[in-house]
Structure 1
Amino acid sequence: MKKLLFLIALLTLIPNLASARRVGGLFGKSERIQKITDVDIKGANGEDLYLAHKTTSLFIFMGVYMTDDGYVLGVKGSINTYYPLSDEQLKNFQASGALPTPLPAYKIEFTEWLWGFSLWILLAVIVVIWFFPKNKEALFAQGCKYYFGKNTPVNYPKAMRYFEKSAKKEYGPAVFNLGVMNLSGQGTEKDVDGAIELLKKASTLGYVDANVTLGNLYYNGNEVTKDMIKAEAWYKKACDQGHANACKMVNHIQQAS
């Protein structure tokens, strides 16, 4: 998870580094002038000008906002130097023929908006990653990580919390694992009756191992009263799902009766 967040932050930050460099760091305001077309207009000091549009971005480490400031007259040979254009000036230049009527349309690139609001985008991504509910398979996998001790110490209470979250989404394997943990007293007080109810629920969700485990419970009679009829019934359900050993147990019980 930390690696993913770092990658997202890096991918979002890289384009901002180039933009922020214009303001001498990662904090401050950055103005960007984008040329639209050449025009026959001179500046106050005799400079050759061109019609452009201007955007303004604010950086606080990353982009906080970006605004479309409209048309300006850029100065040729100078980076981001411009003369602002009021509505009255635009009309006067158009009336004199120095600027076309209507003015050429322009479109700000999507990446400009993306960079300009990158800080908020990154924060939104982080919030989604941390707080948006994970899917049932991912929650189950996280539970298995703590249950089996994959690259981390075994932690039954943590495993149970993840299995419970996955089980709420009606995921059979998670419900089954909760049943096993209740049956064994792993991460919780041993609860045979509660375990049987969980195993039955996992069975209704189509999880074959739940049927086999219930069959074993009634066949062995260690945690519940031995009952060959119930054992055969649960083995039969597993057998119908293609569980070979369950089929053997059905045959064994039938031959012994």
Structure 2
Amino acid sequence: MLGGNVSIMSVRRADPQLGTPMYFLLSDLSFSDICFCSVTVSKMLETLLSERKTISVSSCFAQMFFLLLSGCSEVFILSAMASDRYAAICNPLHYMRTMSCSQLVAGAWLIGSMYALINTLPLSALHLCGPNTINHFSCELPSLVALSCSETFTSDMVFPTSALTIGLVSFSLTLGSYIHILTTILRIRSEEGRHKAFSTCISHLIVVGLFYGTGLFRYFRLNSASSVVLDGLVSIQYSILMPMLNPLIYSLKNKEVKAVLRRLLGGKNHSAPK
């Protein structure tokens, strides 16, 4: 997963033609994926390989903070990528002028930081005196709240409210962009033109569907659907498999990325004899 995301970031820097907003956002998505999986995978491997399968309370809170930070940031980066596709398809003549990628990315990380902070602070005030075994492979908020012996009303209110707000805002931005994109594509007369326009969006739609679907199931599922094994499998999907699949989904559907990767992996360029 690390190699794939680093490759995406390297490809963008290696070719000046990939300096468009779309590739800037794709590179930042790869950076977010690296942060997202590094928070969980490194500690998980350490725990699996060591005899003492423990983590300190402070490390657990830190892991949860960075999980919330990188996860929320990735949600808004995906929304920014939807806006990018909207600008490219619906307003192509002003595409480069209207897309302010650095501001969108900075806003995504700022919102992610605030989201992580407002959910970590109430949890740090809880008294964890009950069972000290986390039935999960990482320190996610629902698993930690279950260990509290004190009143969890604040966390029980803040987390669903903030998560629902973040989810609705980001999903509305993404959905609104794709409604306009679909309307524009349907007005294209040639079948080839419609196929070309839609093919630029399909990779992003796959990633958005997988990320939102697994995230919603993990944090907003009914109690009757509660299962330690199922929750673990779903969490692995969005925290480990998604960062690993994103480079494959985008590079396999993108001719420019594949061309630069082939050139970079093809070895040294041989100059013609004088």
**Structure with the higher fraction of residues in strand conformation:** 1
**Structure with the higher fraction of residues in helix conformation:** 2
Q: Indicate whether the TM-score tops 0.5.
A: no
Q: What's the TM-score bracket when you normalise by the shorter of the two chains?
A: under 0.3
Larger RCO, structure (CA 8 Å, separation 6 or more): 2
TM-score scaled by length of structure 2 = 0.22
